Amino acid sequence: MASPGPAGAASAAASPSPPMQLPSPFAELVKAPSGLEKIVLRGARNCCAEIYLYGGQVTSWKNDNGEELLFLSSKAIFKPPKAIRGGIPVCFPQFGTHGNLEQHGFARNRFWTIDNNPPPLPVNPAIKAFVDLILKPSEEDLKIWPHSFEFRLRVALGPSGDLSLTSRIRNTNTDGRPFSYTFAYHTYFSVSDISEVRVEGLETMDYLDNLKAKERFTEQGDAIVFESEVDKVYLAAPSKIAIIDHEKKRTFVVTKEGLPDAVVWNPWDKKAKAMQDFGDAEYKSMLCVEPAAVERPITLKPGEEWKGRLVLSAVPSSYCSGQLDPLKVLQG
C-alpha cells in the first residue's frame, strides 16, 4: 500500500515533478531557477532558511527583518559537480586535504533526499520549521570510499530565529569494519566589512596553519582581526565562538557540540581572484568560521552513531563606543 511515508518520499525524489510531503507545515519544497530543488523553512515574522537537496546545503538564513545572515557568492555555480559557494556546505567524509578524497569530501556535491521518518531526535517542542535529509553512498561513492553509512541531517529554525544543524552519522558496514572521517560545517557568514570584524573565543588556542604546511602555532591573547588571508584550524576550540561585526552592530554566536575544532578562513584578494565561483571583492563581505573535527578523525564501529551539532544565532551587539563584553556574548 502506498503511503506518504519515507518510501513515498524517496521514490518521489526520483520522479520529475513530485508532490513531495514534508512533515512540517512550515517547510516547503520549491524548484530554484537553476532547476535544483530546495526546501524553504519559514519561522516567526520574516525569519526563514533555505536548504538545497544538492549538497544538503543551507544557502540562506534570514532574521526577523528578512536580512540575509549567510554569505552566498554572486558567482556561485548551481550545477553539479561544483559545490555551491556559500551558505553551509557539509564537509564529509574528509575535511580539506586531510586524506585522499577530493577536497572536503563528497557529501557537498551529492543529491540528498528528504527523510520523512527519521529516528527520534530530542527536540525543543517550540521548533516548528524543520526538515530532515539523508545521504547514503551510491555504488560510485563506495568505489572511492568503501564504507556504508547513513548520514542524517536535521536543519531547524528556532522560535527566536536560531538556525540549528544536527548531523547523525551511522556506520552501516555489514563486514564488521570501522571507518574514520573528518568533518566540518563550512559556515560562510555575511559581514559588513571584514576589516571591522573580530572573532572572540579563539584567543590563546593552538592552531594548524594551512598557509604554512599545517604547522602548529599558538594564537596570541587578543581577539582575532583580519588584515590578510587566513586559513587556520583551531584545535580543541571552545563550544561558543562570537563573531562581532562592529559596523552592522551584530554578533553571531556559534555554538558547537561534538566538534572539537574550528576552522577560520578568508581567502583575501589574491585567492578570491583565482576562484572562478567567487567575486574579486567578495572576500570583504564574508568570513568562514567552521565547527569541525579535523585533527582527530572520528571513528565509528558498525552500528555506532555520531552526533555533531551547530547552532547559530545573530544578536544585536551592545557595542557603541566602548568594548563589547566578550564574556556576556560567550556565556549569555
Binding-site residues for substrate sit at: 85, 103, 108
107 lies in the site for ligand G6P, by CB under 6 A: no
**Which residue numbers belong to the known binding site?**
85, 103, 108
Q: How far is the CB of 184 from ligand G6P (least distance, A)?
A: 8
Q: Of 96-104, 166-174, 239-247, 314-322, which segment contacts ligand G6P by CB under 6 A?
A: 96-104
Which candidate in 186, 200, 282, 295 is catalytic? 186
- x/- track of binding to ligand G6P for residues 292-331 (CB under 6 A): ----------------------------------------
Q: How far is the CB of 201 from ligand G6P (least distance, A)?
A: 18
104 lies in the site for ligand G6P, by CB under 6 A: yes
Long-range contacts of 323-332 (CB under 8 A, 24+ apart): 324/244, 324/251, 326/200, 326/201, 326/223, 326/242, 329/200, 329/242, 329/244, 329/251, 329/253, 330/200, 330/201, 330/238, 330/240, 330/241, 330/242, 330/253, 331/240
203 is catalytic: no
103 lies in the site for ligand G6P, by CB under 6 A: yes
Residue 303, C-alpha cell as written in the block: 552500528
Q: How many residues interact with ligand G6P (rule CB under 6 A)? A: 9
Among residues 88, 263, 298, 312, the one that binds ligand G6P under rule CB under 6 A: 263
87 lies in the site for ligand G6P, by CB under 6 A: no
288 lies in the site for ligand G6P, by CB under 6 A: yes
147 is catalytic: no
C-beta closer to ligand G6P: residue 64 or 280 = 280
- x/- track of binding to ligand G6P for residues 215-244 (CB under 6 A): ----------------x-------------
Active-site residues, by number, are 186, 290
- List contacts with ligand G6P (CB under 6 A): 83, 96, 103-104, 210, 231, 263, 265, 288
